[in-house]
Structure 1
Amino acid sequence: MNERPIAPPVAETPVDLDWLGEQIPYRLFQQCIHCGLCTASCPTYVENGDENDGPRGRIYLMRSVVDGRLGVGPEVRRHLELCLDCRACETACPSGVQYGRLIEPFKIEMVRKAPPGKGPSRLQKVVLHHLFPYAGRVRAALWPVRVLQRLGLMKAVEGSGLLKLLPPTLRNMQAMVPPLRRPSNLAEVLPAIGPRRARVGLFLGCVTDAMTPQTTEATARVLRRNGCEVVVPRGQACCGAIHFHSGAEAPALDLARRNMDAFDFEDLDAIVVNAAGCGAMFKGLGHVMPPEERERVARFVAKVKDVSEFLAELGPIPPTHAVPVKATYHDACHLCHAQQIRAQPRGLLAMIPGLELVPLAESELCCGAAGTYNLTEPEMSRRLARRKVANIEATGAAVVASGNIGCTLQIARQIREQGLPIEVVHPVDLLDRAYEGGS
Structure 2
Amino acid sequence: MTEPSGQSAFDPHNPPSRELLDDCVHCGFCLPTCPTYQLWGEEMDSPRGRIYLMDLAERGEIGLEGSFTQHIDACLGCMACVTACPSGVQYDRLLEATRPQIERNVERRMSDRLFRNAIFTLFPYRRRLRAAAVLGLVYQRSGLPKLVERVLPPRLRAMQALLPPVRLREAFAALPRRVRAKGPVRRRVAMLSGCVQDVFFHEVNAATQRVLAAEGCEVLTPRRQGCCGALGLHAGREEHAVEHAKRTIATFEKLPVDAIVVNVAGCGSSMKEYAHLLADDPEWAERAREFSAKVRDVNELLAELEPRAPRRRIEAKVAYHDACHLGHAQGIREQPRAVLRTIPGLEVVDLPEAELCCGSAGIYNLVQPEPAAELGERKADNVRAVAPDLLVTANPGCLLQIRRYLDDVPMMHPIQLLDRAINGTGA
TM-score, normalising length from structure 1?
Answer: 0.90
Q: Mean Cα displacement is larger for which, 43-52 or 234-243?
A: 234-243
Q: Which residue of 1 aligns with 2:403?
A: 412
Change (3 A) 1:33 1:351: same
Residue of 213, 217, 220 corresponding to 2:206: 217
Partner of 2:419: 432
Distance 2:144 2:106 in 1: 37
Report the Cα offset of residue 296 of structure 1: 1.2
SS at match of 2:406: helix
- In 2 relative to 1, CA 391–142 (structure 1 residues): closer, same or farther, beyond 3 Å? same
Counterpart amino acid of 1:220? Q
The aligned runs of 1:4-403 (5 Å cut-off) are 17-19=10-12, 22-117=14-109, 120-127=112-119, 129-147=120-138, 153=141, 156-159=143-146, 161-163=147-149, 168-181=154-167, 182-183=169-170, 184-264=173-253, 267-289=256-278, 290-292=280-282, 293-317=284-308, 319-403=310-394
1:328 counterpart SS class: strand
- How many Å separate the matches in 2 of 1:334 and 1:91? 11
Residues 381, 342 of structure 1: alpha-carbon distance in 2 compared, 3 angstrom cutoff: same
The range that moved more, 364-373 or 256-265, is: 256-265
Q: What SS class does the counterpart of residue 330 from structure 2 fall into?
A: coil
Residue 3 of structure 2: aligned partner: none
Task: Return the offset for 1:295.
Answer: 1.2
In 1, the alpha carbon distance for the partners of 2:254 and 2:85 equals 34
Counterpart contact for 1:112–1:247, Cα < 8 Å:
no
Aligned equivalents of 2:406, 2:425: Cα separation in 1: 23
5+ residue gaps, structure 1: 1-13
User: Structure 1 residues 335 and 212 mapped into 2: Cα distance closer, same or farther (>3 Å)?
Assistant: same
Query: What secondary structure does 2:188 align onto?
Result: strand
Does the aligned pair in 2 maintain the 1:368–1:380 contact within 8 Å? Answer: yes
1:261-313 Cα offsets, whole Å, 9 max, x none, are: 11145611100000010011111112221341221111000110000001111
* Distance change in 2, residues 1:180/1:321 (3 Å): farther
Secondary structure (helix, strand or coil) at the match of 1:125 reads helix
Contact 2:76 2:359 (C-alpha < 8 Å) held by counterparts: yes
Secondary structure of the equivalent of 1:396?
Answer: coil
| Aligned alpha-carbon RMSD (Å) | 2.0
Distance (Å, rounded) in 1 between the aligned partners of 2:107 and 2:16: 23
CA distance, structure 2, for counterparts of residue 32 and residue 167 of structure 1 = 38
Distance in 1, Cα, partners of 2:108 & 2:375: 29
How far did 1:211 drift? 1.3
Counterparts in 2 of 1:265 and 1:330: CA distance versus 1, 3 Å: farther
User: Using a 3 Å threshold, how does the CA distance of structure 1 residues 173 and 18 change in structure 2: closer, same or farther?
Assistant: closer
Task: Decide whether aligned partners of structure 1 residues 243 and 73 sit closer, same or farther in structure 2, where only a CA change above 3 A counts.
Answer: closer
Q: d(CA) in 1 for partners of 2:203 and 2:231?
A: 22
List runs of 5+ in structure 2 lacking aligned partners. Answer: 1-6
Aligned residues of 1:180 and 1:212 also touching (Cα < 8 A): no
Q: Cα distance 1:287–1:78, how it changes in 2: closer, same or farther (>3 A)?
A: same
Q: 1:23: how far off?
A: 3.8
CA distance in 1, matches of 2:313, 2:294: 32
Residue 187 of structure 1, CA deviation: 1.6
Secondary structure, aligned partner of 1:19: coil
C-alpha distance after superposition, 1:84-127 (max 9, x if no partner): 11111000111111101111221122122222417833133122
1:412 corresponds to which letter in structure 2? R
Distance 2:145 2:71 in 1: 34
Q: Are residues 425 and 252 of structure 1, via their aligned partners in 2, closer, same or farther at CA, if it must alter by over 3 Å?
A: same
Distance 1:430 1:213 in 2: 15
Is the contact between residue 177 and residue 222 of structure 2 (CA under 8 Å) also seen in structure 1? yes
Distance 1:354 1:30 in 2: 50
Measure the CA separation in 1 of the matches of 2:61 and 2:182. 62
Scaled by the length of structure 2, the TM-score of the pair is 0.92
Residue 359 of structure 1 deviates from its aligned partner by 2.0
Going from structure 1 to structure 2, the CA distance change for 1:83 and 1:119 (only over 3 Å counts) comes to farther
